[in-house]
């Protein structure tokens, strides 16, 4: 459980940082070469990246490392496009007025763009968090040490392959009955996302209303 929590928290924060920075930079009209960069990003939707990603993780020495569960998911092309489109919809008069007052790009992002983008940041953050929390495929590829398995990998191992969890994995003296283990792991795997969603629901509603008004 600790591995899943760490991967989800760190991965979501890092992914939001990367996505926000790239989306803001590529939403500015003054950036040179942005069309080439956008073309490269769009190729991510069509090019298979499984083998290159595995080779890169291997060459970086990140096999059997918790960072191999985080780094492959810190950028998602769809989330980037959604974030960039939202940034482009912010009135340019606001940013231009701040620039005339001597504000730097970083200050404009921090004081103008981000406060106006709470809805999309919350939604994209939830997308990333759900992706990291539910991910088990990266653990299958990069992790052999069972102590670094996320909870979804343990659940998969038990439910799909029919393996039984040991008392040492669960941190208890005796293992509960198999059905109890299955139900407990399922509840633990679902609970965090179910508990977080009600707090972010208002941002989903706000985003829908904003989109309807703009339309």
Contact 111, 98 (CB under 8 A): yes
Residue among 93, 151, 82, 95 nearest 123 (CA): 82
Contact (Cβ atoms closer than 8 angstroms) between residue 129 and residue 196? yes
- Asked if the model's pLDDT at residue 160 lies above 70, the reply is no
What is the distance of C-alpha 42 from the center of its chain?
18
**Spacing of C-alpha 204 from chain mean position:** 17
Task: Annotate 137-159 with DSSP letters as a single string.
Answer: HHHHHH---GGG--HHHHHHHHH
pLDDT tens for each residue of 72-97:
889 888 899 989 988 888 888 888 88
| Residue 5: partners with Cβ closer than 8 Å, 6 or more residues away | 192
Paired tokens of 137? 């495929």
Q: Is residue 13 scored above 90 in pLDDT?
A: yes
Q: Within 29-177, where are the H helices?
A: 34-42, 50-59, 77-88, 92-100, 105-108, 114-116, 118-134, 137-142, 151-159, 167-170
- pTM comes to 0.78
| pLDDT, tens only, 105-158 | 888 888 888 888 888 898 899 889 988 988 888 888 898 888 888 888 877 777
In this predicted structure, what is the pLDDT of residue 20? 93
Q: Which domains does the chain have, with CATH numbers?
A: 2-214 (1.10.3720.10)
pLDDT exceeds cutoff 80 at 52: yes
């Amino acid at each position: 459980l600790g591995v899943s929590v760490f991967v989800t928290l760190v991965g979501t924060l890092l992914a939001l940082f990367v996505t926000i920075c790239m989306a803001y930079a590529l939403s500015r009209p003054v950036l040179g070469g942005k069309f080439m960069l956008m073309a490269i990003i769009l190729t991510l939707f069509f090019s298979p990246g499984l083998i290159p990603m595995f080779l890169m993780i291997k060459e970086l020495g990140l096999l059997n490392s918790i960072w191999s569960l985080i780094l492959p998911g810190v950028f998602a092309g769809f989330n980037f496009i959604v974030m960039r489109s939202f940034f482009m919809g912010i009135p340019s008069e606001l940013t231009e007025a701040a620039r005339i007052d001597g504000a730097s790009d970083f200050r404009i992002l921090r004081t103008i763009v981000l406060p106006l983008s709470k809805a999309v940041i919350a939604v994209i953050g939830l997308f990333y968090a759900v992706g990291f929390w539910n991910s088990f495929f990266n653990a299958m590829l990069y992790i052999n040490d069972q102590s670094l398995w996320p909870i979804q990998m343990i659940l998969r191992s038990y439910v799909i392959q029919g393996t039984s969890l040991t008392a040492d994995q669960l941190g208890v003296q005796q293992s509960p009955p198999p059905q109890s283990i299955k139900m407990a792991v399922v509840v633990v795997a679902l609970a965090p996302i179910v508990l977080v969603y009600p707090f972010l629901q208002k941002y989903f509603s706000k985003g829908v209303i904003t989109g309807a008004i703009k339309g």
